[in-house]
Amino acid sequence: MKIGITGAGGQLGQALVRYTMERVSPASVVAVTRHPDKLEEFSRQGVEVRAGDFNLPTGLLTAFQGIERLVIIPTGDLQPGVRRIQHTAAIHAAAASGVRHVMYISTVGARPDPNNELLDSHFATDQALINSGVAWTILRMSIYMETLLDPAKRAVSSGSYAAVPGAPAAYVVRNDIAAAAAGILTTPGHEGITYHATGPVSISQQEIAGAIGKTAGKPVAFTEITAAQQRAGLEAAGLPPFLIGIFAGFQEALRAGMFDLVTADVARLSGKPAQSPSAFFARTLGSTASTARG
């Protein structure tokens, strides 16, 4: 059986190719990417690397030939209305190419929301896949734990973790999402199921400050900022206005509890427990923390 992975050149895509190769022969993996030249290492390992761009649907018909099970990794294109067109084109191409089973990596909390392109486009893709006539699986991912890394490094240096307080969230490490997705791609029985790849605990911003301090071995204070201050920070960083709106809407949904969902799906699908925030900080802050301790 040929297993296809779109977006194979991205960080999640590359991790998914690696986890899939741990479970099946590289010869049965097809990595689809806009930039095949970047994946020569996978080619050397026996993976078939093909060119594929969701903006060029005709080429996808060739890219998906002979693939039985395909995962669609979402693009990061958040220009209004674009992503759902890209994803729907990929779903239609998969169906037209004879792909039997398609998995989409969506988000926890996907919902119709005309004011939030990020959530709305994931929801639209979920629905397009369910209605495509192809066997489907949806893996809804929580927010990446990696989004905490830069703020955590700053917190170790300054002794203060600044965030807008709100509901807790079950941050998940990217590799755990990839490992769960590889489990779905390489074992039977996942058709018609929506899974949720989450971390093992839901953690508040105050608890994040505490976990960073514990890893650093020094006090890290929680400094409350407002949503307006957070937005001003994005403006100062020079983000385009449409992205600031999307990011602010995403943060608002986070504070309202969108990612306050813990499941055992990562462990169930990957065969190993999802990484906790404290394990993540211990793994990633090691050198920053020891420098800060002097």
Ligand X SMILES: NC(=O)c1ccc[n+]([C@@H]2O[C@H](COP(=O)([O-])OP(=O)(O)OC[C@H]3O[C@@H](n4cnc5c(N)ncnc54)[C@H](OP(=O)(O)O)[C@@H]3O)[C@@H](O)[C@H]2O)c1
Binding site for ligand X (CB under 6 A): 6-13, 33-35, 53-55, 73-77, 86, 107, 141, 143-144, 147, 174
Q: Least Å distance between CB 148 and ligand X?
A: 10
CA angle 126, 11, 167 (to 5 degrees): 60
Task: For 191-221, give one letter per residue: b (16+ CB within 10 A) or e.
Answer: eeeebbbbbbebbbbeebbbbbbebbeeebe
Non-local (6+) Cβ contacts of 280 within 8 A are 145, 148, 171, 173
Helix (H) or strand (E) holding 137: strand 135-141
Residue 138, classified by CB atoms within 10 Å of its CB into exposed (0-12), middle (13-18) or buried (19+), is buried
Between 139 and 289, whose beta carbon lies closer to ligand X?
Answer: 139
Between 141 and 292, whose beta carbon lies closer to ligand X?
Answer: 141
Q: Specify the length of the chain in residues.
A: 294
Q: Where do we find the tokens 């979402």? A: 74
Q: Least Å distance between CB 149 and ligand X?
A: 12
Q: How far is CA 191 from CA 103, 136, 137, 236, 285, in A?
A: 9, 5, 5, 45, 39
Q: Least Å distance between CB 186 and ligand X?
A: 20
Between 8 and 253, whose beta carbon lies closer to ligand X?
Answer: 8
Q: Least Å distance between CB 65 and ligand X?
A: 17
Q: Least Å distance between CB 56 and ligand X?
A: 8
Helix (H) or strand (E) holding 103: strand 101-107
Between 28 and 121, whose beta carbon lies closer to ligand X?
Answer: 121
Query: At 34, is the secondary structure helix, strand, or coil?
Result: coil
Torsion of CA 266, 105, 116, 112, to 10 degrees: -100
Between 54 and 222, whose beta carbon lies closer to ligand X?
Answer: 54
* Rounded CA separation 19/182 (Å): 6
Contact between 128 and 155 (Cβ < 8 Å): no
Between 4 and 9, whose beta carbon lies closer to ligand X?
Answer: 9
Q: Least Å distance between CB 283 and ligand X?
A: 17
Q: Least Å distance between CB 188 and ligand X?
A: 26
Between 144 and 214, whose beta carbon lies closer to ligand X?
Answer: 144
